[in-house]
Amino acid sequence: MTASRTNTRIREFRLPDLGEGLTESEIVQWHVAEGDTVELNQIIADVETAKAVVELPSPYAGVVVRLHEAAGTVVDVGAPIVSFEVAAGPDDAVPVPASVPDEPVPAEPAPARREPNLVGYGAAVEKGGRPQRRGRSLPAANAPQPAAVLQPAAAPQPRERPRSTPPVRKLARDLGITLDTLTGTGPGALITRADVLAALAGTPSSTAEPASPGPRPRAVRSSTGEIRTPIRGMRKHTAAAMVASAFSAPHATEFLTIDVTPTMELLAELKAGRAFEGTRVTPLTVVSKAVCIAIARNPILNSSWDEQAQEIVQYADVNLGIAAATPRGLLVPNIKAAQSLTLKDLAQALGALTETARAGRTPPTDLAGGTISITNIGVFGIDAGTPILNPGEAAILAMGAVRSTPWEYRGEIALRSVMTLSLSFDHRLVDGEQGSRFLADVGTILRNPAMVLTMV
Amino acid sequence: MAQDGTRPGPGSTGGNDDAGPASGTVLPGPAHAGADDLVQLIDHHGVRHPHGHYDALVADVDGAALQRLYEDMVVVRRIDAEATALQRQGELALWPPLLGQEAAQIGSGRALRSDDFVFSSYRENAVAYCRGVDLADILRVWRGNASSGWDPYTINMATPQVIIGAQTLHATGYAMGIVNDGADSVAVAYFGDGATSQGDVNEAMVFAASYQAPVIFFCQNNHWAISEPVGLQAHVPIARRAPGFGIPSVRVDGNDVLACLAVTREALARARSGGGPTFIEAVTYRMGPHTTADDPTRYRDANELEDWAARDPLARLATLLDSLGLLDAGYTDSVKARADAVAAELREGCLSMPEPAPSDVFKHVYSTPNSWLDRQQDHYERYLASFAQAPQEGPR
């Protein structure tokens, strides 16, 4: 265009959002050079967005006076890419301060910066003149606080939600992992499924090295010596699960103290024999087996209260949960269809499960779908307690420490191996009679493993 | 309609009808249950084929009328190109191009009476043009300046429905209302091949048939539901589904503006005379992307686009006009001038569109005053006013 030099003005073209919610694009190729005269809608460049390569038509008829970015450059949406010298249109007759000749007259091509949250930008950055939130008009604040004036950038910026995908968010929520604590390894720091699973398994950064900026909540010791730890991650999840369980399922707990000497003798025999060589058999092994056998006789203990459906769900399989202290906190992985396992298989499954849990490598599938749980508080030297149900389950059995105790034996007092079992059950669906029969069955087996012959 | 459909002998299937002008004779076609045959009056070589049934419906379309149809198509293609450019220039957030579908939209749109009512998807900007929409109103929503482009009752066309297929229910409901009013107008629903997989469209067809509502289901089969080919939506011609609902259907060459005009007129006549709904499958092709945010080269074969470019709706009509001696320089110049003027008007309307005020969000929520909303608006305005009073250092 050959408008007279005196009657022209400079217009800047800023890179628009060429897709829906893009924040940047790459200039693949310029089709014009500085000094070229272009028509309106003449293709001036090829631009590649995350979605497509598109042609950029010139928004003005005029002369290209400056290409702000070279081909191959990735440009933020809103950044100027071309300046045109165009004939002054009728708009320009309106008094415009001559000192701002390069201000584009058409509506802002794009806000200067957008939050990179793709669909839905949130509010665009105000173009100035208006505050983003209500200014405080306290009379005392009239004297400007130097610190506040000197540090305008210190205004707290709303934290962006960690980038991830809905299925991964759900996984993290289900596992009680807060995405804020993770560092994404996907494209654009996207938090992937693998990141969440790695965090759960405690790798790579949740192990106890103090230098690691891992996802463990950071505790802060105050001047008075109290330690304040943010509630998040596994602790938060555990707390929520405990509260949900304790205040939705009315717990009843029963205790049974028994002489488990025959069980201990059986274990000693198994350890000595060839059949179980290499397999670790413990009181937990026998208790687990006893629970499976007792469930077959009292199936209501292996069930769940479905509040939403108003149904009681009785499970076919015993997915036996074992409470385990892990580096990340309490986990209750379960052994699927434990009732179908032989004692040896069960022993091996228990060994693998606890080892995996202690190493922090429990896969999510092991954490889901449990139907009844055992917690072995005996390993801490504790006798009895009131265990809280694993949410959704109808019963949990706590096994206490096996102690050498003076006990009535064949009409006399003898030192026997004695253990206390504590059974909590959901009293909505398990009556005292059913709970008692179940606990008595478990006790019967531990008291005399041979009694299994009468029970299966 | 299939039962009425008669067509030239050769080439009885698909849109690839290569029949030359030679045959000339019109053979009575057999009655079909399937409606697979494509009604075509102007083939892709620009040759006008006589048609035993549909010729009568376009007997009034003389050379001047053909020229007007051509001008319409050139203008809407230009509107589409200008809007696409405006999006690339950052003036529109998004634009759904109709490139390639001009004949289907102009042919059907020009068949309508002003008291008919259109319920469209977001791609029927050529239909809106036929309805006399203010050009800037087409862009208003895409510029993000309003939630809705126009007052539907001024042009008897609802604002574009973005929910796929939902407008078919609106059209059927409106058509049931027409019957209650004792009027003889018709509701026309425009949708695509992908929409036929939606429950809404199927429900609308059930109700339209049950109530024998004066509604036309105008399906532009443009072969792509974003990135899904039409073969995923239907293993048989889409038009074949309608008879299952008790709705007569017809397949028409959607790139033949005259045939689209003819079949729409027939459907309108049926609806006005109490004959109930009609399903029209206009077989066309979306030559551009789904929207300006889409890259069709990622999912479709370039050869396919080439095949369809050879069946371009504008090119074939231009050839026909030329063969009739109706494409002289004076005419083409006037068409170009008209298209340029419309494009300039569109651009000007877009760039000069006033920004909405913050309180505009409260407009058009209720048709009558609502004290609860008024109170919200009052609060919001006072909130905004508080910024003006804020101390100077407030804004960052």
Task: Report the 3 state secondary structure along A61-77.
Answer: CEEEEEECCCCCCEEEC
Contacts of B386 in chain A (CB under 8 A): 134-135
ipTM above 0.90 for this complex: no
Q: Which of A195-199, A271-275, B176-180, B259-263 has the lowest mean pLDDT?
A: A195-199
| The predicted structure's pLDDT at residue A6 | 60
Out of A8-17, A127-136, B11-20, B33-42, the most confident range is: A8-17
Q: Which of A226-240, B223-237, B282-296 has the lowest mean pLDDT?
A: A226-240
pLDDT exceeds cutoff 60 at A266: yes
pLDDT exceeds cutoff 60 at A162: yes
Contact B383 A134 (CB under 8 A): yes
Determine if the pTM surpasses 0.90: no
Catalytic residues of B: 286, 290, 299
pLDDT exceeds cutoff 80 at A322: yes
- Overall average pLDDT of the A168-175 stretch: 83
| The predicted structure's pLDDT at residue A61 | 93
- Overall average pLDDT of the A4-18 stretch: 83
pLDDT greater at residue B57 or residue A363:
B57
Min distance A137 CA to chain B CA atoms (Å): 6
pLDDT digits (tens, 9 = 90+) for A334-345: 999 999 999 999
Q: Pick from B293, B393, B396: which is nearest to A20 by CB?
A: B293
Residue B380 burial (C-beta neighbours within 10 Å; 0-12, 13-18, 19+): middle
d(CA A209, CA A202): 12
Per-residue confidence band for B97, with pLDDT thresholds at 50, 70 and 90? very high
Contacts of B394 in chain A (CB under 8 A): 131, 134-136
DSSP-derived letter for residue A178 is -
Q: Round the average pLDDT of chain B to a whole number and report it.
A: 89
| The predicted structure's pLDDT at residue B388 | 80
Whether residue B193 contacts residue B239, with contact meaning beta carbons closer than 8 Å, is answered with no
Per-residue confidence band for A89, with pLDDT thresholds at 50, 70 and 90? low
Contact A56 B89 (CB under 8 A): yes
B46 conformational bin, left if phi > 0, alpha if psi -120 to 50, beta if neither: left
Name which of A130, A151, A157 to mutate to probe chain B: the one with the most chain B Cβ atoms within 10 A of its Cβ. A130
Q: For residue B78, give the chain A residue with the closest CA.
A: A41
Per-residue confidence band for B204, with pLDDT thresholds at 50, 70 and 90? very high
Contacts of A136 in chain B (CB under 8 A): 390-391, 394
| The predicted structure's pLDDT at residue B311 | 96
| The predicted structure's pLDDT at residue B81 | 97
Give whole-number Cα distances, B86 to A86, A109, A209, in Å.
Answer: 18, 10, 57
Contacts of B293 in chain A (CB under 8 A): 18-20, 51-52
B interface residues, A as partner, C-beta within 8 Å? 81-82, 85, 87-91, 93-94, 289, 291-295, 297-298, 351, 353, 355, 383, 386-387, 389-391, 393-396
Residue the block writes with tokens 């007997």 = B59
Q: Round the average pLDDT of chain A to a whole number and report it.
A: 80
CATH number of A5-93: 2.40.50.100
Count the neighbouring beta carbons within 10 Å of the beta carbon of residue A227.
8
Residue A17 in contact with partner chain B when CB distance is under 8 A: yes
pLDDT cut 90: percent of chain A above it: 47
d(CA B13, CA B29): 13
Domain formed by B31-351, architecture: 3-Layer(aba) Sandwich (3.40)
d(CA B86, CA B356): 19
Give whole-number Cα distances, B395 to A115, A296, A423, B386, in Å.
Answer: 20, 71, 63, 12
* Extended strands (E) in A134-193: none
pLDDT exceeds cutoff 70 at A370: yes
DSSP-derived letter for residue B48 is B
| The predicted structure's pLDDT at residue A229 | 79
d(CA A105, CA B133): 27
Contact B393 A13 (CB under 8 A): no
Structure tokens at B134: 């203010």
| The predicted structure's pLDDT at residue A218 | 56
pLDDT digits (tens, 9 = 90+) for A276-317: 988 999 999 999 999 999 999 999 999 999 888 899 999 999
Give whole-number Cα distances, B320 to A158, B2, B26, B44, B316, in Å.
Answer: 63, 26, 20, 10, 6
CATH topology of domain A236-455: Chloramphenicol Acetyltransferase (3.30.559)
Give whole-number Cα distances, B245 to A345, B36, B279, B308, in Å.
Answer: 60, 16, 10, 31
pLDDT exceeds cutoff 60 at B10: no
Indicate the length of chain A as a whole number.
456
Spell out the SS3 assignment of B258-295. HHHHHHHHHHHHHHHCCCCCEEEEEECCCCCCCCCCCC
Instruction: Output b/e per residue, B150-164; b: 16+ Cβ within 10 A.
Output: beeeebbbbbbbeeb
Q: Pick from B85, B353, B386: which is nearest to A134 by CB?
A: B386
Q: For residue B395, give the chain A residue with the closest CA.
A: A131
Contacts of B85 in chain A (CB under 8 A): 41, 57
| The predicted structure's pLDDT at residue A110 | 44
Q: For residue B385, give the chain A residue with the closest CA.
A: A134
Contact A59 B91 (CB under 8 A): yes
Per-residue confidence band for A393, with pLDDT thresholds at 50, 70 and 90? very high
pLDDT exceeds cutoff 60 at A42: yes
- Overall average pLDDT of the A202-215 stretch: 40
CATH topology of domain A162-207: Dihydrolipoamide Transferase (4.10.320)
pLDDT exceeds cutoff 80 at B142: yes
* Extended strands (E) in A121-177: none
d(CA B394, CA B396): 6
Q: Pick from A57, A107, A135: which is nearest to B394 by CB?
A: A135
pLDDT exceeds cutoff 90 at B17: no
Tell me phi and psi for residue B154, to 5 degrees. -75, -30
Q: Which of A82-91, B49-58, B285-294 has the lowest mean pLDDT?
A: A82-91
Residue A374 in contact with partner chain B when CB distance is under 8 A: no
Whether residue B224 contacts residue B154, with contact meaning beta carbons closer than 8 Å, is answered with no
| The predicted structure's pLDDT at residue A250 | 93
For chain A, which residues make up each domain, given as ranges? 5-93, 162-207, 236-455
| The predicted structure's pLDDT at residue A406 | 96
Report A:103-142 residues touching B (Cβ under 8 A): 106-107, 109-110, 126, 128-132, 134-137, 141-142
pLDDT cut 70: percent of chain A above it: 77
Nearest of B198, B196, B210 to residue B281 by alpha carbon: B196
| The predicted structure's pLDDT at residue B391 | 59
pLDDT digits (tens, 9 = 90+) for B256-312: 999 999 999 999 999 999 999 999 999 999 999 999 999 898 898 888 898 999 999
Count the neighbouring beta carbons within 10 Å of the beta carbon of residue A164.
22
Beta bridge partners of A356: none
Contacts of A129 in chain B (CB under 8 A): 395
Q: Pick from B89, B298, B396: which is nearest to A131 by CB?
A: B396
Q: For residue B382, give the chain A residue with the closest CA.
A: A134
d(CA B217, CA B219): 6
Structure tokens at A386: 């009131």
Return the half-sphere exposure (C-beta side, CA atoms, 13 A cut-off) of residue B346.
29
Per-residue confidence band for A118, with pLDDT thresholds at 50, 70 and 90? very low
Q: For residue A52, give the chain B residue with the closest CA.
A: B295
Nearest of A243, A223, A245, A249 to residue A231 by alpha carbon: A243
Q: Which of A196-205, B222-231, B287-296 has the lowest mean pLDDT?
A: A196-205
Cis before A204 (ω within 30): yes
Contacts of B88 in chain A (CB under 8 A): 16, 18, 54-57
DSSP-derived letter for residue A308 is T
| The predicted structure's pLDDT at residue A60 | 93
Contact A54 B292 (CB under 8 A): yes
Q: Pick from B294, B297, B391: which is nearest to A135 by CB?
A: B391
Report A:20-49 residues touching B (Cβ under 8 A): 20, 41
Contact A52 B82 (CB under 8 A): no
pLDDT cut 70: percent of chain B above it: 89
Q: For residue B349, give the chain A residue with the closest CA.
A: A106
d(CA A439, CA A397): 9
Contacts of B351 in chain A (CB under 8 A): 106-107
pLDDT digits (tens, 9 = 90+) for B355-385: 988 888 888 888 888 999 999 999 999 999 9
Structure tokens at A379: 């390993």
